[in-house]
């Protein structure tokens, strides 16, 4: 096979979206939403792996939406609906959407070496408020960051944005299961985060340069923001979005959070029972386990691990009783 043919085949593979594991983002098509609708949010997870963070007076409802860019192959988006506006943004106020990565999943970027690589971010956004927005990559391991501006040109209209961030030869990502990189989409920022010049090259943290130019997307309760099709990949080229099956995406999400959809039903013959539940995915760390909707028992969680958790249950209705419960396991970054 000639070199020209090899290159042509590679190009065709990109065009067909056939090369797997390009997208470093988990749940970029917003398909998995284990927690459901979140109301009166200022800090918390929305659809899986995406986190809303606000330090001002704004509040919002977040949910999975079927409003998507037409003909682009997406069935879901993240919807942020402003329910309490922040009409006078304080100097230290902030509002952002965040996605966090483990360091061990970023080693292909070769950050902190002479072979460091750029990364390219793409996403679709629809917002009521037009104007300048900012996105930041924040390196938690080395307290470094880089940002870029983009423009929402038309209100309430889906627009695709593509941003390439330069390589950084300073400060490697830790090769572990802790938080190393944050992507942070600015939505509303006080002057402490906007009064400088946007930092388009990697450097030490200077708050004033992180979100320069950012509009206030929380200015009215009529405001809505939708986002989908989020992809981060190594290199300076945006390739077609890597669609994954729901099952694959759910398994990736359950590394960080999972919950039961059906009750655990336990029958006991002596009034008391020690048992365990094997989890469907290996979690990032031993999770915090929460039991809920407990019926006919007193329960205590015992010894969670990345693969299971145990419990001790005492039935309330006698030696030959039964009980049930739901559970959630949280191992978020």
Checking if the pLDDT of 60 tops 90, the result is yes
Checking if the pLDDT of 270 tops 80, the result is no
| pLDDT given for residue 152 in this prediction | 99
Checking if the pLDDT of 47 tops 80, the result is yes
Q: Which helix (H) or strand (E) holds 252?
A: helix 246-253
- Report d(CA 230, CA 227) in Å as an integer: 8
Q: Which of 24-33, 53-62, 113-122, 169-178 has the lowest mean pLDDT?
A: 53-62
Average pLDDT for residues 127-147, to the nearest whole number? 98
Checking if the pLDDT of 217 tops 80, the result is yes
Cβ–Cβ under 8 Å, residues 2 and 9: no
Measure the CA dihedral 254/256/261/266, to 10°: 100
Average pLDDT for residues 6-16, to the nearest whole number? 45
Q: What mean pLDDT value characterizes the chain?
A: 92
Whole-number Cα distances in Å, 300 to 162, 324, 327: 49, 13, 12
| pLDDT given for residue 10 in this prediction | 46
Checking if the pLDDT of 11 tops 90, the result is no
From the list 313, 311, 326, the residue with the least C-alpha distance to 268 is: 313
Average pLDDT for residues 100-118, to the nearest whole number? 98
| Higher-scoring residue by pLDDT: 256, 266 | 256
Whole-number Cα distances in Å, 5 to 14, 18, 109, 244: 14, 17, 28, 28
| pLDDT given for residue 44 in this prediction | 92
| pLDDT given for residue 275 in this prediction | 82
Checking if the pLDDT of 267 tops 80, the result is no
Checking if the pLDDT of 84 tops 90, the result is yes
pTM given for the model: 0.93
């Amino acid at each position: 096979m000639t070199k020209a043919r090899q290159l042509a085949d590679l190009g065709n593979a990109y065009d067909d979206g056939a090369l797997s594991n390009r997208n470093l983002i988990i749940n970029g098509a917003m398909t998995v939403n284990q927690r459901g609708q979140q109301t009166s949010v200022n800090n918390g997870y929305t659809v899986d792996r995406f986190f809303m963070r606000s330090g001002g007076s704004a509040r919002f409802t977040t949910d999975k939406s079927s409003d998507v860019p037409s003909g682009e192959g997406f069935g879901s988006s993240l919807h942020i609906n402003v329910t309490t506006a922040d009409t006078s943004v304080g100097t230290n106020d902030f509002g952002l959407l965040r996605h966090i990565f483990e360091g061990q999943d970023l080693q292909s970027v070769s950050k902190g070496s002479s072979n460091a690589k750029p990364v390219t971010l793409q996403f679709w956004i629809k917002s009521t408020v037009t104007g300048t927005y900012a996105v930041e990559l924040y390196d938690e391991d080395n307290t470094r960051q880089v940002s870029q501006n983009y423009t929402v040109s038309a209100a309430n209209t889906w627009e695709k944005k593509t941003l390439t961030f330069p390589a950084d030869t300073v400060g490697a990502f830790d090769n572990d299961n802790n938080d190393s990189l944050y992507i942070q989409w600015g939505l509303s920022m006080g002057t402490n985060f906007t009064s400088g010049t946007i930092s388009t090259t990697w450097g030490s943290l200077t708050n004033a340069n992180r979100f320069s130019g950012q509009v206030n997307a929380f200015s009215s309760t009529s405001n809505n923001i939708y986002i989908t099709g989020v992809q981060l990949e190594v290199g300076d080229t945006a390739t077609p979005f890597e669609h994954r099956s729901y099952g694959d995406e759910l398994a990736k999400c359950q590394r960080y959070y999972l919950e039961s959809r059906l009750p655990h039903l336990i029958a006991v013959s002596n009034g008391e029972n020690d048992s365990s539940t094997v989890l469907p995915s290996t979690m990032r760390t031993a999770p915090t386990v929460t039991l809920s909707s407990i019926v006919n028992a007193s329960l205590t969680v015992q010894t969670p691990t990345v693969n299971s958790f145990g419990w001790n249950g005492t039935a309330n209705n006698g030696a030959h009783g039964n009980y049930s419960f739901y559970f959630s396991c949280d191992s978020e970054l």
